[in-house]
Structure 1
Amino acid sequence: MVNLICFAVWRCAVSRTGDKLYIINKLNNKLITLARDGKILAIYTEPNLTVPVCVHVTPAGQVLVCGHLSGTIIQVGCEGRKRLATLAKVRGGPESVCYNSTTNSIIVGQCEENNILVFRVK
């Protein structure tokens, strides 16, 4: 098992198939992807994703990450190696993100604005 203390785990999510663990390290602006056995598969960083605070895996296996200071919501490939899309750019400190498959929408909670934003996905 890998020593997770060095990663300063903030939030985590499990892949739909259960073979990957996605870990947010907000202190170092990283998304770390681990295999089930603890092996590091990928470490993702991006200048446009500062202070990542939430990671969510959709029912389809898409990985969503929100950056608090950058105000970005991005989709990262399931391998955790690259950004596939910037889904939204919002003000007011996005703090949480999730996908609702019933309404086909991305829901973003904002800490500083005390709001919940809903984006319909086409």
Structure 2
Amino acid sequence: MLRCIAVYKCAVSHTWDKLYITNSSQHKLLTLARDGSVLATFTDPALQGPGGIHVTPAGQVLVCGYVSNTIIQVDDEGRKKLAILATKEDGVVFPQSVCYNRHTASILVGLNNNSILVFKVTPPITGS
């Protein structure tokens, strides 16, 4: 049976065995297996209106909370929040995209107002 899942943005794990999908209208991060089965459904008050998503080289998942004005880090299973990395107090207002640059140990956040924020990560994001 084919199920319909409202997809806003998606990212693939570096091992190609998981697909992470943001469902903005239901405030969920879904983790799917290769066969399309749902491995995990993540919700959290700090993640409202999830949008942009990125998988770090360590396999951790970074997600933009467009409505909650947050960037959160989730484990590679898509089950557990590891950290709130940035909030409105840090200048994150309507984040749309996120990316981790391991060479500069920085998180880049694209905002709705056509600007980009750069956050230095200390210590750098490493293995899961």
TM (norm. structure 2) is: 0.88
* Counterpart AA for 1:39: S
Q: Which residue does 1:10 correspond to in 2?
A: 8
Q: Which residue does 1:26 correspond to in 2?
A: 24
Contact kept in structure 1, 2:59 and 2:75, CA below 8 Å = no
CA distance, structure 2, for counterparts of residue 107 and residue 16 of structure 1: 19
* Residue ranges of structure 2 left out of the alignment (5+ in a row): 123-128
* Counterpart AA for 1:77: D
Q: Which residue does 1:77 correspond to in 2?
A: 75
CA distance, structure 2, for counterparts of residue 73 and residue 45 of structure 1: 14
* Residue 2 (structure 1) shift: 4.6
**Structure 1 stretches of 4+ moved >2 Å:** none
Contact kept in structure 2, 1:2 and 1:39, CA below 8 Å = no
Q: How many residues align?
A: 119
TM (norm. structure 1) is: 0.92
* Residue 54 (structure 1) shift: 1.1
CA distance, structure 1, for counterparts of residue 59 and residue 105 of structure 2: 14
* Counterpart AA for 1:67: G
Deviations 1:25-62 (A, max 9, x none): 00100000001111110000112211001110011111
Q: Which residue does 2:101 correspond to in 1?
A: 100
SS at match of 1:92: coil
Q: 1:42 to 1:107 in 2, by over 3 A?
A: same
Name the % identity: 60
SS at match of 2:47: coil
SS at match of 2:79: coil
Q: 1:2 to 1:32 in 2, by over 3 A?
A: farther
* Counterpart AA for 1:86: I
